[in-house]
Amino acid sequence: MRFTSDKSRCANLNIMQESKNRLAVDGAAPQREKMLLFGAPSFGQEEFDEVLDTLKSGWISTGPKTKQFEQEFAEYVGANYAIGLNSCTAGLHLSLVALGIGPGDHVIVPTLTFGATANVVEHVGARPVLVDVDAATLTIDPRAVERALTPRVKAIIPVHYAGMPCDLDALHALADPRGIAIIEDAAHAIGAKYKGHAIGALSPLTNFSFYANKNLSTAEGGMVTTNDAALEEKLRVYHLHGLSRDAWKRYHTKAYSLSEVVTPGFKYNMTDIQASLGIHQLRKQEAFIARREQIASFYDEAFSELGSMVWTPPRPHDGQNRHVLHLYSLLVDVTRLRVDRNQVISALLAENIGASMHFNPLHAMPYYRDKYGYQPSDFPNAQCVGEREISLPVQPQITDADAQDVVEAVKKVLSAYAR
Ligand SMILES: Cc1ncc(COP(=O)(O)O)c(C=O)c1O
């Protein structure tokens, strides 16, 4: 056996210390060996069995499982009707079509959202009018909405950003007396509550996303909910080619009757394979939300050590209002770093932490910026968030050790990049 001298032992220690603080992006060993994916879905045996059952049944597109999922979903969100779709984007588009919004109309949309929220407005030939978000909640600012109101505004699409319910009372107080429709973009917000009521029946139309990384995932998918029977009828017809009757209804009645095109509709229906996932994901939502809250509280406590270098938006959970943590958003004071937010995310990815960001605001996107001439100074809050937000993994299946890795990596990266 060879003994190392004290001197060389100390040198080794220094090297170890240095390599611990060095970043994977600069060639050091990453925080963890395997990538912790951002927003990976959480499926179990129940979902696997149900999908197999559907595949073996011979009826794989829209059928009995979609119907079951629609009914159970409507019940969960307290709406009279729910229509399964192939995406939330489809639901937002159909909502505008069903309300007859088109050329010449304006629709108010928060700039801090995913492209789909505004793209659908373009698809119907109307004009999206972007407004800023509230600096604290990061949801659409009702004062900005009020300033943007004109006789041309026919709808508002508030986004429950990250799972935080918007100030719906303030929005309805502006919209309802003027005959302006509210179409909620609840892509992030299944299970969210506003003043004691589930998001899903608080406006004429609400749209949910079941995309791969959403709190409820069917790989791709969506749901539009409403309490209005006339709107439901229109959405049903429009969501499947404009046919008077869907295939399941046509084949499962004794007397065969022809289905007729009553309007040129779309191909937006959900399949029973998607619904098979959705039925079980829905039953797990409350447990999923509880685990998301645990992980988020762990992050909150750990990041409080970083002081004013980071902050997080408020997350009400008081029995009346509930944020459902689709995203855990960490806002970083980039003015105290030597690099920008994107470089922080790159460094986290190199550490095998699946960090992401939400969102690059729409006013900064080439299409909207160039078409409407938006300036960053028109949207100071969203601009600030767009430069500072980092979304960290918060899916329910991540372990305490995974969450610890996230914390270590964030601290390591921020301290390495501090001015
Ligand atoms: C706020 C928001 N709206 C709409 C969508 C579109 O959802 P989908 O992918 O189901 O069409 C997303 C997707 O991530 C979103 O984040």
Ligand 1 centroid to Cα of residue 340, in Å, is: 26
Domain boundary among 256, 283, 310: 283
Q: Which residues of 380-418 are buried (b: 16+ CB within 10 A; e: fewer)?
A: ebbbbbbbbbbbbbbbbebeeebbebbbbbbbbbbebbe
395 and 39 Cβ atoms separated by less than 8 Å? yes
Question: pLDDT per position in the chain (419 positions), as tens?
Answer: 233 333 333 343 343 344 456 999 999 999 999 999 999 999 999 999 999 999 999 999 999 999 999 999 999 999 999 999 999 999 999 999 999 999 999 999 999 999 999 999 999 999 999 999 999 999 999 999 999 999 999 999 999 999 999 999 999 999 999 999 999 999 999 999 999 999 999 999 999 999 999 999 999 999 999 999 999 999 999 999 999 876 666 666 667 777 889 999 999 999 999 999 999 999 999 999 999 999 999 999 999 999 999 999 999 888 899 999 999 999 999 999 999 999 999 999 999 999 999 999 999 999 999 999 999 999 999 999 999 999 999 999 999 999 999 999 999 999 999 99
Q: What are the DSSP calls for 174-242, one per residue? A: HHGGGT-EEEEE-TT-TT-EETTEETTSSSSEEEEE--TTSSS--SS-EEEEES-HHHHHHHHHHTBTT
Residues with CB under 6 A from ligand 1: 87-89, 113-114, 116-117, 159, 185, 187-188, 209, 211, 222
Both 207 and 353 in a single domain? no
Q: Which residues pair with 224 in a beta bridge?
A: 83, 207
Ligand 1 centroid to Cα of residue 306, in Å, is: 32
pLDDT at residue 74, as a whole number: 98
- Ligand 1 atom index nearest CA of 89: 11
Residue 31 lies in a domain: no
Both 252 and 322 in a single domain? no
Residue 396 lies in a domain: yes
Both 295 and 252 in a single domain? no
In which order are the strands placed within the sheet that holds 153-156? 81-85, 222-226, 205-209, 181-185, 153-156, 106-110, 127-131
Coil vs helix vs strand at 418: strand
Ligand 1 centroid to Cα of residue 17, in Å, is: 43
pLDDT at residue 257, as a whole number: 74
- Ligand 1 atom index nearest CA of 92: 4
Those residues whose C-beta lies under 8 Å from the C-beta of residue 249, and which sit 6 or more positions away, are none
CATH code for the domain of 361: 3.90.1150.10
pLDDT at residue 19, as a whole number: 45
CATH code for the domain of 58: 3.40.640.10
Both 269 and 395 in a single domain? no
Residue 33 lies in a domain: no
Both 330 and 296 in a single domain? yes
Ligand 1, pocket-test mutation among 38, 87, 88, most atoms within 8 A of CB: 88
Both 243 and 290 in a single domain? no
Ligand 1 centroid to Cα of residue 221, in Å, is: 10
Ligand 1 centroid to Cα of residue 127, in Å, is: 19
Residue nearest to atom 7 of ligand 1 (CA): 88
pLDDT at residue 251, as a whole number: 64
Residue 339 lies in a domain: yes
Both 78 and 196 in a single domain? yes
pLDDT at residue 250, as a whole number: 63
Annotated catalytic residue within 65, 154, 193, 214? 214
pLDDT at residue 259, as a whole number: 83
Residue 67 lies in a domain: yes
Residue 16 lies in a domain: no
Is 20 one of the catalytic residues?
A: no
Both 101 and 200 in a single domain? yes
Q: What are the DSSP calls for 269-334, one per residue? A: BPPHHHHHHHHHHHHTHHHHHHHHHHHHHHHHHHHHTTGGGEE-----BSSS-B---S-EEEEE-G
- Find the domain containing 298 and state its range: 285-417
Give the count of domains, the chain. Answer: 2
Both 411 and 270 in a single domain? no
Domain boundary among 226, 253, 283: 283
- Ligand 1 atom index nearest CA of 214: 14
Domain boundary among 264, 283, 302: 283
Residue 73 lies in a domain: yes
Both 292 and 146 in a single domain? no
Both 203 and 342 in a single domain? no
Both 103 and 128 in a single domain? yes
Residue 138 lies in a domain: yes
pLDDT at residue 21, as a whole number: 67
